[in-house]
Each structure stands twice: as structure tokens, then as C-alpha cells.
Amino acid sequence: SNPSLLILPGDGIGPEVMAEVRKVITWFGDKRDLAFDVSEDLVGGAAYDAHGVPLHDDTMAKALEVDAVLLGAVGGPKYDDLDFSVKPERGLLRLRKEMDLYSNLRPAQCFDALADFSSLKKDIVAGLDIMIVRELTSGVYFGEPRGIFEEGNERVGINTQRYTESEIERAARSAFELAMRRNKKLCSMEKANVMESGILWREVVTRVGADYPEVELSHMYADNGAMQLVRAPKQFDVIVTDNLFGDILSDCAAMLTGSLGMLPSASLGAPMDNGRPKAMYEPVHGSAPDITGQGKANPIACILSFAMALRYSFDQGAEADRLEAAVEQVLADGVRTADLLGEEGVTPVSTGEMGDCIVA
């Protein structure tokens, strides 16, 4: 049977960019004999409007069954005053938690045609293609004790950085697997100089590395890593780091490459019975209420998220390359959505026109 894909367009520009991914999926079925069983459902505000919850139990069950989930974006001003328990982002958090997606892949890739968009000098970023693997389900955002407590005559705010060996091990393993598929070069970042969790992190990553003798492993303190990312980002290929450092370093790396409308992501969990990892793919951007309904949204982040699904869930690396090459070609041809306008005298194309160009 065909591989299965659950599409959750969500809110705002989510359905607009997902319509372009649909064109791409149809193209692969027609032209490359690569068909998917696609189902579609609601998430976020759209699910709240229909069911009173941001993710229906049936949708959750479906997400746990399919080979991969592709999500657009959730949220919007209409839902800002809802109770926290039914806010759109809770739908997203529930998916991540129940699918146990512990490994977050954030590529920072600079297409030559857009190198002028970077906040850095063109030669530092042109041709950049790195991947940050962020541990997503543990660390200081979740560790106990946490809270604001009375201490003497004042209050103290406490969070706890906490990592078990098995949590580090599974994140490290997914990063090594990724390094094997890429250029066999992995840099692990922590602060083993001042943090116990960092000492354990370095020890476990090194131990896992013994199973991947072909991968060249290095270690770097995360503060130096931040500096190196903006000084000479091309020295890296895959970076693996914890939840907090990964949050900061991946946002930093993202801006090396320009627009939010270009950035895909993948969140992976444990292998399922069929050997594929549990997986959700989504653009990094949100629902962009300021441009919703105007045909201005850039669909590339969502289309590149589908390319990641081809590569990491469906073992179709060559087809993923084909799709990425199409995006690169369209950009080299000067086709631009409004968020990518820099040059004088360029008329932006609509969301739908960008999708059509990529398919063509």
C-alpha cells in the first residue's frame, strides 16, 4: 500500500501554503509514480471552531497511525483570548507530546539566489547547508523542581536542567543517523565546563559515537558555538544540542538564511513497527494573520517541509533532492513572493503562482 500522510493545514496562511504542497504531492503521484494516501483533518483554531478543542481525539489517533504528519500553522487573533487549555498551540503541543517527538531538525540552508537576504556577508553564507538537531522533550523547559517559591522574605524562580542518559542517548542517536545520511560530521554543543548535565551529555554522545566510527565527532561549548555560527557557519554540518541551547542556536542559524517563509522543520520520535520514525513536518513560521487571505504567503517553507518528509520518512532522498532543486531553480530564475523582495523592479508572484512555478 502507499505510504500514508496526514495533512493538518491549521489556521491563517496554513491552508494557503498547504494548497501548494497538495499540488506538489499530486505531481509526484502523476509524474514520479510516487503516490501517497493523504488524509486531511483540523488542528488549532480550526479544530476549536468545529469541536471546541484544538485537537480532536480522533485526529490524535490518526496522527499516531500514519507514516508522517504535515502541519501548516496554528493560531490567530481570533483565539488570543481563549482559555489556555484550548488555545490553538495546545493542539500542536499535544501532537508533539503524544507522538513523543524528541528530535527536532532545523536546517539552515542558504540558496545562492537569496544570499543577499542574510544578516551576514554574502560569502559567509552562500551555499550554507547545515542542520541543527535540538532535543525537544526534556531539559530545563520540563525539569522539576520548577516554580516561583518563597525563600526568606523574597521569591525565587526555579527551573531545573535535567537529562537522563537515555534521553541524551536517543537524541544523540538520531543526530548520528542524520550525520551518516549527510557528510558524516557532527558537532555536539553543551556547557560541560559549568554544567553537570553538560558533562553527562558529552560523555553519552561520545559513547554513542562509538557505534558510528565513520562520523567525525567534535564537541564545542555552546557559547563558542553561537559565536562560530555567525563567524564561520560553513565549518559545521550537523549540530546536536539540548532543548534550551537548541532553541536559541536554531533561531540564530535561521536568520543566517533570510526569510521566515523559507524555513522548514522536522520533529522525529522513536522508530515505529515499519522502521520509520514517528514524524511531524512543519514550516517554522506561524499563521501570519497580517497577510492571511491576500495570496502573499510564501509556500516554500511548507514545500521544503514536505521535501524533508520525502527524505526522512519515506526514504526518497533522490526525490527530495529533485524538489529542493526545483525550489532553487525557481529562486535562481528570479521568482519572488512578497517576503523575498529586495531587488528593485521585481513584481512579486502570489502563493499559487510560486507553487505553480515549482511544480513546472
* 129 noted as active-site residue: no
The dihedral built from the CA positions of residue 242, 243, 249 and 253, taken in this order, carries a sign that is positive
Q: Which residue's C-alpha cell is 504567503?
A: 297
Residues with Cβ < 8 Å from 70, sequence gap 6 or more?
5, 6, 7, 8, 18, 21, 280, 281, 282, 302, 305, 306, 309
Cβ atoms of 285 and 301 closer than 8 Å: yes
309-348 residues near ligand NAI, rule: CB under 6 A = 339
**258 lies in the site for ligand NAI, by CB under 6 A:** no
Q: Determine, following the binding rule CB under 6 A, whether residue 75 of this chain makes contact with ligand NAI.
A: yes
In the list ligand NAI, Mg ion, none, the entry touching 76 (Cβ below 5 to 8 angstroms by class) is ligand NAI
Is 191 a known active-site residue?
yes
**Residue 297 touches ligand NAI, criterion: CB under 6 A:** yes
Pick from 13, 10, 77: nearest CA to 48: 10
Shortest distance, position 134 Cβ to ligand NAI, whole Å: 14
* 254 binds ligand NAI, rule: CB under 6 A: no
37, 223, 321, 333: the active-site residue: 223
Q: In angstroms, what is the minimal distance from the CB of 96 to ligand NAI?
A: 10
Residues making up the annotated binding site are 76-89, 96, 106, 134, 223, 247, 251, 286-298
> Which C-beta is closer to ligand NAI: that of 278 or that of 285?
285
Which of positions 5-34 make contact with ligand NAI (CB under 6 A)?
A: 13, 17
Which amino acid is residue 274, in one-letter code? N
* Residue selected from 60, 99, 301, 323 as contacting ligand NAI according to rule CB under 6 A: 301
Of 30, 35, 37, 31, give the one whose Cα is nearest residue 6: 37
Which residues of the shown chain bind Mg ion in the complex (CB under 5 A)? 247, 251
Sheet-wide strand order for 4-10: 37-40, 4-10, 68-73, 277-283, 264-271, 103-109, 129-135, 238-241, 185-190, 216-221
User: Measured from the CB atom, is 247 or 282 closer to Mg ion?
Assistant: 247
Minimum Å gap between C-beta 255 and ligand NAI is: 12
Q: Which is nearer to ligand NAI, 250 or 298 (CB)?
A: 298
Shortest CB 161 distance to ligand NAI, Å:
24
**Residue 66 CB, nearest approach to Mg ion (Å):** 27
| Nearer Cβ to ligand NAI (74/326) | 74
Q: How far is the CB of 230 from Mg ion (least distance, A)?
A: 17
3-state secondary structure 74-112: CCCHHHCCCCHHHCHHHHHHHHHHHCCCCEEEEEEECCH
Residue 112 bears catalytic tag: no
Q: Is 288 in the site for ligand NAI (CB under 6 A)?
A: yes
Task: For residue 73, state whether it binds ligand NAI (rule: CB under 6 A).
Answer: yes
Q: Does 289 bind ligand NAI (CB under 6 A)?
A: yes
Q: Which residues, other chains included, contact 153 with Cβ-Cβ below 8 Å and sequence gap of 6+?
A: none
Interacting residue with ligand NAI among 76, 107, 264, 269 (CB under 6 A): 76
- CA distances 205 to 170, 171, 181, 211, 254, Å, are 10, 9, 18, 10, 25
Output the known binding site for Mg(2+). 223, 247, 251
Rounded-to-integer distance, Cα 239 and Cα 103, Å? 12
Residue 264's alpha-carbon distances to 35, 159, 291, in angstroms, are 22, 30, 19
Rounded CA separation 22/18 (Å): 6
The listed partner (ligand NAI, Mg ion, none) that binds 247, CB under 5 to 8 Å by sort, is Mg ion
Q: Point out the annotated binding site for NAD(+).
A: 76-89, 286-298
Alpha helical stretches, state H, the chain: 14-31, 45-51, 57-65, 88-98, 122-125, 165-181, 196-209, 222-231, 243-254, 300-312, 317-332, 351-359
Residue 46 interacts with, from ligand NAI, Mg ion, none (CB under 5-8 Å by kind): none
Q: What is the DSSP letter of 301?
A: H
Q: How far apart are CA 10 and CA 89, in angstroms?
A: 10
Q: Binding site for substrate, residues?
A: 96, 106, 134, 223
Tell me which residues touch ligand NAI (CB under 6 A).
Answer: 13, 17, 73-76, 89, 92, 260-261, 282, 285-291, 297-298, 301, 339
Residues with a known catalytic role: 141, 191, 223, 247, 251
